[in-house]
Structure 1
């Protein structure tokens, strides 16, 4: 079963019981842009969750945990309950950032053991509008009486210390999901140091989509990761644990089962000056 749905699928199910729509639009250079866009127009019935508030925890001293630390499971569960998401609810998430923010929510739900289906809206809000579907500026009411019971799947995560110990280890592949210039250390607009984790290979997350913006098939995703063994432990990171999540799902779609997210990612790694940094291209897998 694919993890994305087209706007026609959602249009036919607006208002359906057991389905919650979540708007996750967010601009890294303007933290209020998403909520402004939501207030102006959104899919009818959609709730808004903000990356830096609802889908992340508070920033920690010294940059530990990165720019978007994971939220505490109990705090995330409270947020989910008030927008009507229980453990078996079907969720469809959208953004206008190519699916990166929507994927963050989908990964968080996987992390806390969600039982229901979680989909991304293919093409995001722009595709919804382009198809001529209705929009709304009304904010739906907070839902009462739903308590989300998280069952945390910590095997989906890996810590900075564990990543450090895995560098160069046989049977482990580290994937950097950022654009190539950031991976190579040619530019670094956000974090303390430029470069990448030594030994990491580069697979830019947005290459998981076709030229028209649709997500690639499992077979096409497998081609992106050709040369990697299904027996390998795959560690995926990006700048702050957000755009790595589409790569996590691409790998899972391609049949890789031992895939872990380094949630703090480069922003966490580069906050510690003792951590080694590599620049340039690593040998391709």
Structure 2
């Protein structure tokens, strides 16, 4: 067992509870039992429904992970983690994994800062990891992106269905894990810069790379007075040549949308190539990692992230805007039908 893998609980016996045992205890105590009722789904049913079949990378259901040999990273808010989490999980504050550094070509991930955060979680490059959130939203995908960008060598998986699909052991409370040294080996091919994009304006989604804007269509179109417009942006619209595929179309409730449907969305409707380079960007550097992850999971061979995002592109000094243009008229919006969430309480975040 890796150092720090067992986490402290407020009551030791609570850590060994499972969702199945909680359900049984409730029935035994006289709470209205659902056994045999038509249409009722048990925790085992939910876990089974989250299983992923076929040739899809990263995403796995609760019955497809190895809780005794993999480290679970909880990307939810800290109060959710403290209330209850996968037994032995370590809390990873996603805001700690967005650090960037300025270069002459534009913003790029701060590899040293990111490696320090992973080391503080007790991770090394060979640790097998399962990341989960309230759903399979972008809080989760940002963690996966950082691991892959830093050259992680262990297995990296996402718990399909999020914590609500988990039916194994749970724990409560929190304790800081024993720290480790994370030796980063940044994979520079996973990111592009503002200047890299500027040099290719006019070629995207034609003879050059694919460029996908993951923001809501209203932001992509620069729709006047839309609540989707970010007030801190000096300009509104999108990078010339980009197509819009709102990232929430990747998710159906708390689970990954049907993989065949996603493949049709990106490789047919959006016209992206599985073998050619595709760049994804959003307002910042969290949401676009979800499309980055989904494209890789579907077998796309060369997907990278513009980590500076539209916030960097839209807010260059006025005298440099000719090199970094924004457009609203040439538009391609690919309709999506997914939604992030699952109903109910629990403080669910739109990013999962």
User: What TM bracket, shorter-length normalisation?
Assistant: 0.7 to 0.9
1:223 equivalent to 2:272? Answer no
Q: Secondary structure at the match of 1:92?
A: strand
Bigger radius of gyration: 2
Counterpart pick for 2:72 among 3, 15, 21: 21
Partner of residue 45, structure 2: none
Where does structure 2 lack aligned partners over 5 or more consecutive residues? 1-55, 335-352
Which structure 2 residues correspond to residues 258-277 of structure 1 after superposition, within 5 A? Answer: 258-272=302-316, 273=318, 274=321, 275-277=324-326
Which structure 2 residues correspond to residues 98-117 of structure 1 after superposition, within 5 A? Answer: 98-117=136-155
8 Å contact kept, 1:191–1:266: no
CA distance in 2, matches of 1:283, 1:80: 38
8 Å contact kept, 1:46–1:140: no
RMSD, matched Cα: 2.5
Counterpart pick for 1:180 among 217, 239, 242: 217
| Alignment TM-score, normalising by the size of structure 2 | 0.67
CA distance in 1, matches of 2:272, 2:173: 47
Deviation per CA, 1:73-92: give whole Å up to 9, x if none: 22222222232211111111
1:166 equivalent to 2:200? Answer yes
CA gap of 1:88–1:205, structure 2 versus 1, over 3 A, is: same
CA distance in 2, matches of 1:270, 1:110: 28
1:78 equivalent to 2:112? Answer no
8 Å contact kept, 1:238–1:265: yes
CA distance in 2, matches of 1:134, 1:103: 24
Q: Secondary structure at the match of 2:192?
A: coil
CA distance in 2, matches of 1:56, 1:236: 16
CA distance in 2, matches of 1:176, 1:189: 15
Counterpart pick for 1:153 among 173, 180, 187: 187
CA distance in 2, matches of 1:44, 1:99: 21
Q: Secondary structure at the match of 2:112?
A: helix
Q: Secondary structure at the match of 2:129?
A: strand
| Alignment TM-score, normalising by the size of structure 1 | 0.81
- Between the two proteins, the alignment pairs up a number of residues equal to 260
Counterpart pick for 1:39 among 60, 82, 85: 82
Q: Secondary structure at the match of 1:81?
A: helix
Where does structure 1 lack aligned partners over 5 or more consecutive residues? 26-33
